[in-house]
């Protein structure tokens, strides 16, 4: 077992990992930028090392400084959390070169699954259903036009090295291809230093369904059920729930078995997520996230498994896959962002004057914020995750509505008012929603106010 783990991340996920390590009697090292000196993950770690200025390129993305912090504190492993360097194969290799265990899958797997076009080829070879489209990157606009004609419009261009909606354009007709291709290529080049694109059939009413998986050193793997992450704005998730209200038990068994097959086929070790698009009763592979997910607490609530502890134990070779995973009840997670939905989700950094978290049965809050905390403008705007669990979806919705009413944050704008609406009306409340439902709902709300 590891004696000391350095956490190469910040905020609530760093604090979440510290808590798991405490229960495993593992010492922790926090790293932080100058902007995060007052963050709770710095306060609760056993040791803390400042690794640079506020900009992430000079701190949380600075591999030499992170490796140096691990070496001077005698850490024997590094947990990357999510974001930043979590899916950076070069970072995983640097850890290995420094005799540090990278708490994620092998770098070869990160590389294979991080390239979206190569990941599709890999999954197709493993027998996982994929959307019709290119077998890898398209060579240029001309090939994209030919493929689109064969697949049928609409199609979507996606960045091979991308994520988060960057380098992505929907093409509805041949006339749109030239402009869309140029824009997607340029955005991919700017965002990922890689302008490669691949093409696939565009589904107009899909749901975003992902399966939480865990791979073990003995080659086994297990699925911990699915999460529905379809409530999104600009391809960024806002609410997640498990189980999905659109999935039958038979479909659940099928997609989980497919996810386990995919996980084992690439020799995956640790926590990961297989993401699918679901449309008209069919699942299509979208991508694999080779890390712990923001929304992992939803799965923890219905499975009763601490996924971060499970991840650490799996990577330490201490355990193998459980014989059975039992899922109970229903869970919902709302991402509480310091953003103003009325102003196009404009970030709202600044000082939190009041911070009161909800409580009671089945309520959990993961956060690094507190009254008096200054939200820096340099990082992601998420300041808390509110997670509830109920016997069924109806109780979970009621519990979330009650918890949101109790959640008081003053001094900055947040998404709490929007979440209050979403859990009591509209497509999420009804359960009949897809990946574009939120944006349609917001447009309708804005039009009604005019």
Only one residue has tokens 């459980």, namely 322
Per annotation, catalytic residue among 291, 335, 364, 399: 291
**Cα(416)–Cα(385) distance, rounded to whole angstroms?**
11
User: Angle 107-114/89-97 helices, nearest 10 degrees?
Assistant: 170
Enclosing H/E stretch for 386: strand 382-390
Spell out where 196-323 has E strands: 197-201, 207-215, 221-233, 236-242, 270-279, 282-289
- Cα Rg of the chain, angstroms: 21
Strands 27-33, 4-7: pairing is parallel
Closest by alpha carbon to 440, among 423, 421, 425, 426? 426
291 in catalytic set: yes
Beta pairing partners, 445: none
**Cα(239)–Cα(226) distance, rounded to whole angstroms?**
14
Query: Could you tell me if 200 and 154 are in contact, meaning their C-beta atoms sit under 8 angstroms apart?
Result: no
Beta pairing partners, 119: none
Query: How many C-beta atoms surround the C-beta of residue 362 within 10 A?
Result: 18
3-state secondary structure of 126: coil
For residue 211, what is the DSSP state? E
Q: Phi then psi for 164, rounded to 5 degrees?
A: 65, 20
Closest by alpha carbon to 373, among 29, 95, 36, 20? 36
CA-to-CA dists, residue 373 to 54, 345, 407, angstroms: 16, 21, 16
- Torsion angle of the four alpha carbons 167, 85, 265, 255, in this order, in degrees rounded to the nearest 10: -60
Enzyme catalytic residues: 291
């Amino acid at each position: 077992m590891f004696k000391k783990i350095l956490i190469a991340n910040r905020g609530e996920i760093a604090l979440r990992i510290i808590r798991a390590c405490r229960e495993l009697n593992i010492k922790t090292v926090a790293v932080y930028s100058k902007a995060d000196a007052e963050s709770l993950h710095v306060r609760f770690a056993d040791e803390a090392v400042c690794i640079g200025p506020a900009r992430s390129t000079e701190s949380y993305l600075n591999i030499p400084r992170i490796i140096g912090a691990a070496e001077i504190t005698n850490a024997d492993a590094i947990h990357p959390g999510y974001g930043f360097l979590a899916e950076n194969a070069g970072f995983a290799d640097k850890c290995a070169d420094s005799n540090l265990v990278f708490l994620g899958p092998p770098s070869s797997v990160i590389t294979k699954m991080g390239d979206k076009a190569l990941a599709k080829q890999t999954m197709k070879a493993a027998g996982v259903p994929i959307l019709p489209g290119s077998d890898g990157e398209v060579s240029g606009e001309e090939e994209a036009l030919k493929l689109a004609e064969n697949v049928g419009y609409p199609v979507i261009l996606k960045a091979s090295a991308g994520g988060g909606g960057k380098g992505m354009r929907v093409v509805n007709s041949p006339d749109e291809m030239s402009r869309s291709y140029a824009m997607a290529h340029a955005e991919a080049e700017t965002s990922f230093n890689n302008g490669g694109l691949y093409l696939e059939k565009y589904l107009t009413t899909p749901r975003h369904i992902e399966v939480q998986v865990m791979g073990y050193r003995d080659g086994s793997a297990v699925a911990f059920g699915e999460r529905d992450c379809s409530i999104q704005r600009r391809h960024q998730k806002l609410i997640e729930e498990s189980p999905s209200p659109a999935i039958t038990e038979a479909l659940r068994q099928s997609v989980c078995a497919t996810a386990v097959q995919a996980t084992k086929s690439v020799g995956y070790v640790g926590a990961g997520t297989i993401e699918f698009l679901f449309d008209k009763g069919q699942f299509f592979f979208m991508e694999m996230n080779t890390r712990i997910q923001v929304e992992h607490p939803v799965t923890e609530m219905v499975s009763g498994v601490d996924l971060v502890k499970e991840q650490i134990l799996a990577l330490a070779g201490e355990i193998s896959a459980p014989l059975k995973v039992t899922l109970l009840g229903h869970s919902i997670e709302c991402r509480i962002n310091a953003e103003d939905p009325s102003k196009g989700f404009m970030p709202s950094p600044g000082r939190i004057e009041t911070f009161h978290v909800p409580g009671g049965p089945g309520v959990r809050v993961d956060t690094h914020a507190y009254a008096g905390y200054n939200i820096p403008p340099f990082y992601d705007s998420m300041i808390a995750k509110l997670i509830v669990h109920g016997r069924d979806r109806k109780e979970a919705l009621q519990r979330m509505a009650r918890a949101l009413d109790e959640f008081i944050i003053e001094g900055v704008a947040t998404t709490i008012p929007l979440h209050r609406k979403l859990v009591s009306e509209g497509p999420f409340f009804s359960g009949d929603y897809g990946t574009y439902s939120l944006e349609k709902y917001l447009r309708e709300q804005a039009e009604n106010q005019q």
